[in-house]
């Protein structure tokens, strides 16, 4: 429903470019509830059988299916839609079983359809900003991430179908595949071995007194079914989990999930050879610090971004739906960078499942054996192309060596130049655009930038 609300906000329904022309839920009351909330869809044909709806695709005239059912039926519904020649936008995860994950991309290619996965955080400006900043901190050696949920959110999760792995998949997949996806996309690291422990430490019978003391707090997020008490309910999914990863470049990464905290959080800290990024999604803050700038009186922070308090989706539901509409409107052309990565959706799910497999055998490490030689090679290039690599060269560069520097910098994508900030650069793209402007002033500013980066490397 959240998504439909965002789709309505996109205004595309109004122009008729995107329309909802059929509704399906195997529980008819769920459709009734939906229509009660969105009466503008009261006349849309309703189906309690997905197969029947697909069989009517041509008559009704739809070309895309949007899947937001429980996780256990995603794979089957995606495959059936692809077989019917329909494009798919599906909620994460694409499947809850490893063996199902491997065939999806190929099937989409064969059937010439898009499979777009609802990884909402990919659209969050917050993570896009971190991805930009990663290039500045040199070779990544360590990553720390966490996710916690507030009391009402944890109670919601462990009160509905998500508490059963048979329906939602492991919690690390259902809840944290977003975090795995962001880890892979933002850092460019390739985990090769993963180990994990999981436990049920919070929503337990022993803690049921918490609910008795403050039922309003725990129930405040419940929309429909208030009959299940998350503390006393049967469940198969973990409510806390810790993951450790060793990556192909030697970097180590940890992630931890905890379902009961005083407040929600999503934190990402990336430690590079030349600097550190500390990012807190909910607070909307990102800080980049340089080890060379750190002194007793200076905390070394070279850039500080404040985006304001965000929700746990990085306020990106609207961007997510806007981009979906763009793809749909452009006749199924899959040209948006966030949407051409169904492989990314698959590998983040594989990583979640591998970690969970380790947790089921009490932390025994599991190999991440799904990476292709091309992906392993791309990770090496990603690492070489970061500022740590360029620093080796700019250290040697000065105004007389601008040609060398220009050549090296030309390997980087150039974005908008920002001539107001020429005194000191804190991003490679700014420096590169300045160099390419090739004016005398620009050349001397570029030399200043080179010095700055050389300082990052400890060179000056
Ligand atoms: N991107 C995000 O951050 C995010 C946030 C919330 C939910 N989700 C995902 O969205 C999906 C739905 O979650 P929700 O919270 O809306 O769940 P929900 O329980 O509110 O809705 C799921 C609906 O699917 C229906 N359903 C189950 N099997 C079906 C079948 N075979 N055919 C037709 N309908 C069927 C159920 O009757 C139910 O009404 C899940 O996959 C979840 O992981 C993603």
Q: Select from 76, 109, 113 the least CA-distant residue to 95.
A: 76
Question: In which element (H, E) is residue 174 found?
Answer: helix 171-174
Pairing, β 46-47 against β 23-24: parallel
Ligand 1 atom closest to the CA of 312, numbered from 1: 3
pTM, two decimal places = 0.83
Residue with more model confidence, 155 or 378: 155
Top mutation candidate among 3, 69, 163 for ligand 1, by most atoms within 8 Å of CB: 69
| Ligand 1 center from residue 73 Cα (angstroms) | 9
pLDDT of residue 430: 53
What architecture does CATH give domain 2-119? 3-Layer(aba) Sandwich (3.40)
pLDDT of residue 419: 30
Question: In which element (H, E) is residue 257 found?
Answer: strand 252-258
Ligand 1 atom closest to the CA of 71, numbered from 1: 41
Q: Select from 222, 178, 232 the least CA-distant residue to 202.
A: 232
Cα 343 from Cα 102, distance rounded (Å):
9
What's the rounded mean pLDDT across residues 308-322?
Answer: 88
Q: Is the CB of 127 under 6 A from ligand 1?
A: no
Cα 162 from Cα 176, distance rounded (Å):
12
| 200, two tokens | 């049920």
User: Considering only CA atoms, which residue is closest to atom 11 of ligand 1?
Assistant: 68
* pLDDT category of residue 137 using cuts at 50, 70 and 90: confident
| Ligand 1 center from residue 94 Cα (angstroms) | 12
Hey, is 28 helix, strand or coil? helix
- Sort residue 64 into left (φ over 0), alpha (ψ -120 to 50) or beta: beta
Q: Is the CB of 28 under 6 A from ligand 1?
A: no
| 306, two tokens | 């404040």
Which residues partner with 299 through β-bridges?
Answer: 294
Hey, is 175 helix, strand or coil? coil
Query: Per-residue pLDDT for 170 more than 90?
Result: yes
pLDDT tens per residue across span 93-108: 999 999 999 888 889 8
Query: Per-residue pLDDT for 313 more than 60?
Result: yes
| Domain definitions of the chain by residue range | 2-119, 122-316+334-380, 387-457
What's the rounded mean pLDDT across residues 174-181?
Answer: 97
pLDDT of residue 446: 46
Q: Is the CB of 171 under 6 A from ligand 1?
A: no
Q: Is the CB of 25 under 6 A from ligand 1?
A: yes
Pairing, β 191-199 against β 240-247: antiparallel
* pLDDT category of residue 457 using cuts at 50, 70 and 90: very low
Cα 56 from Cα 51, distance rounded (Å):
9
Least confident of 206-210, 371-375, 402-406: 402-406
pLDDT of residue 384: 57
- A 10 A CB-CB count for 27 gives 9
pLDDT of residue 234: 96
* pLDDT category of residue 397 using cuts at 50, 70 and 90: very low
Hey, is 109 helix, strand or coil? helix
Q: Is the CB of 26 under 6 A from ligand 1?
A: yes
Angle at 392 between CA 387 and CA 396, to 5 degrees: 125
Query: Per-residue pLDDT for 282 more than 90?
Result: yes
Angle at 232 between CA 227 and CA 234, to 5 degrees: 90
pLDDT of residue 249: 87
**Which of 20-29, 312-321, 409-418 is most confident?**
20-29
pLDDT tens per residue across span 367-388: 999 998 888 887 776 665 554 4
What's the rounded mean pLDDT across residues 218-237?
Answer: 85
| Ligand 1 center from residue 261 Cα (angstroms) | 25
What's the rounded mean pLDDT across residues 157-171?
Answer: 96
Query: Per-residue pLDDT for 440 more than 80?
Result: no
pLDDT of residue 377: 81
CB within 8 Å of 223: residues ≥ 6 apart = none
Question: In which element (H, E) is residue 194 found?
Answer: strand 191-199
What's the rounded mean pLDDT across residues 140-147?
Answer: 97
* pLDDT category of residue 433 using cuts at 50, 70 and 90: low
| 452, two tokens | 């700055």
Question: In which element (H, E) is residue 64 found?
Answer: strand 64-67
Query: Per-residue pLDDT for 3 more than 50?
Result: yes
| 444, two tokens | 């001397």
Query: Per-residue pLDDT for 395 more than 50?
Result: no
Q: Select from 106, 125, 114 the least CA-distant residue to 89.
A: 114
Question: Contact, 291 vs 455, CB < 8 A?
Answer: no
Q: Select from 254, 267, 275 the least CA-distant residue to 140.
A: 275
User: Considering only CA atoms, which residue is closest to atom 32 of ligand 1?
Assistant: 26
Query: Per-residue pLDDT for 450 more than 90?
Result: no
**Fold exhibited by the domain 122-316+334-380:** Dihydrodipicolinate Reductase; domain 2 (3.30.360)
Cα 296 from Cα 257, distance rounded (Å):
35
Residue with more model confidence, 308 or 453: 308
* pLDDT category of residue 116 using cuts at 50, 70 and 90: confident
Least confident of 4-18, 91-105, 331-345, 435-449: 435-449
Q: Select from 126, 256, 116, 239 the least CA-distant residue to 182.
A: 126
Q: Is the CB of 92 under 6 A from ligand 1?
A: yes
Residue with more model confidence, 457 or 236: 236
Helices (H) and strands (E) in the chain, counts: 22, 14
Q: Select from 333, 287, 275, 400 the least CA-distant residue to 64.
A: 333
User: Considering only CA atoms, which residue is closest to atom 19 of ligand 1?
Assistant: 70
Question: Contact, 281 vs 314, CB < 8 A?
Answer: yes
Cα 59 from Cα 218, distance rounded (Å):
46
Upstream peptide bond of 134 is cis (omega within 30 degrees of 0) = no
Q: Is the CB of 50 under 6 A from ligand 1?
A: yes
Q: Is the CB of 90 under 6 A from ligand 1?
A: no
pLDDT tens per residue across span 34-80: 999 999 999 999 999 999 999 999 999 999 999 999 999 999 999 99
């Amino acid at each position: 429903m959240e998504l439909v609300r965002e789709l309505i906000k996109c205004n595309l329904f109004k122009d008729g470019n995107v329309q909802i022309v059929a509704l399906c839920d195997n529980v008819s009351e769920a459709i009734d509830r939906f229509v009660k909330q969105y009466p503008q869809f009261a006349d849309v044909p309703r189906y309690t059988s997905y197969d029947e709806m697909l069989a009517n695709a041509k008559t009704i005239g739809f070309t895309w299916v949007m899947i937001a059912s429980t996780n256990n039926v995603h794979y089957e519904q995606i495959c059936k839609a692809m077989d019917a020649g329909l494009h798919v936008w599906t909620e994460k995860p694409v499947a809850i079983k490893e063996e199902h994950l491997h065939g999806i991309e190929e099937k989409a290619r064969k059937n010439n359809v898009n499979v777009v996965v609802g990884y909402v955080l990919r659209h969050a400006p917050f993570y896009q900003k971190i991805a930009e900043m990663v290039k500045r901190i040199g070779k990544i050696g360590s990553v720390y991430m966490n996710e916690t949920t507030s009391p009402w959110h944890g109670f919601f999760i462990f009160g509905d179908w998500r508490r059963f792995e048979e329906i939602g998949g492991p919690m690390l997949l259902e809840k944290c595949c977003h975090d795995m996806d962001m880890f892979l996309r933002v850092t460019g690291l390739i985990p090769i071995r993963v180990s994990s422990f999981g436990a049920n430490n919070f929503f337990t019978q022993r803690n049921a007194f918490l609910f008795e003391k403050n039922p309003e707090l725990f129930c405040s997020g419940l929309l429909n079914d208030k009959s299940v008490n998350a503390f006393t309910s049967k469940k198969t999914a973990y409510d806390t989990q810790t993951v450790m990863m060793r990556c192909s470049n030697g970097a180590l990464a940890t992630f931890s999930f905890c379902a009961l905290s005083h407040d929600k959080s999503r934190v990402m800290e990336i430690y590079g050879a030349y600097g550190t990024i500390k990012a807190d999604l909910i607070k909307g803050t990102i800080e980049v610090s340089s080890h060379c700038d750190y002194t007793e009186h200076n905390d070394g922070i070279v850039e500080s971004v404040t985006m304001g308090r965000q929700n746990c989706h990085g306020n990106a539901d609207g961007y997510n739906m806007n981009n979906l509409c763009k793809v749909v409107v452009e006749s199924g052309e899959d040209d948006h960078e966030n949407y051409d990565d169904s492989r990314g959706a698959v590998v983040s799910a594989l990583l979640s499942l591998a970690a969970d497999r380790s947790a089921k055998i009490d932390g025994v490490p599991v190999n991440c054996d799904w990476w292709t030689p091309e992906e392993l090679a791309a990770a090496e290039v990603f690492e070489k192309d970061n500022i740590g690599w360029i620093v080796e060269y700019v250290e040697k560069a000065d105004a007389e060596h601008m040609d060398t520097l220009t050549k090296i910098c030309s390997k980087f994508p150039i974005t908008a130049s920002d001539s107001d900030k020429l005194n000191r650069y804190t991003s490679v793209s700014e420096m590169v655009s300045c160099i390419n402007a090739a004016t005398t002033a620009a050349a001397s500013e570029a030399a200043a930038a080179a010095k700055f980066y050389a300082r990052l490397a400890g060179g000056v």
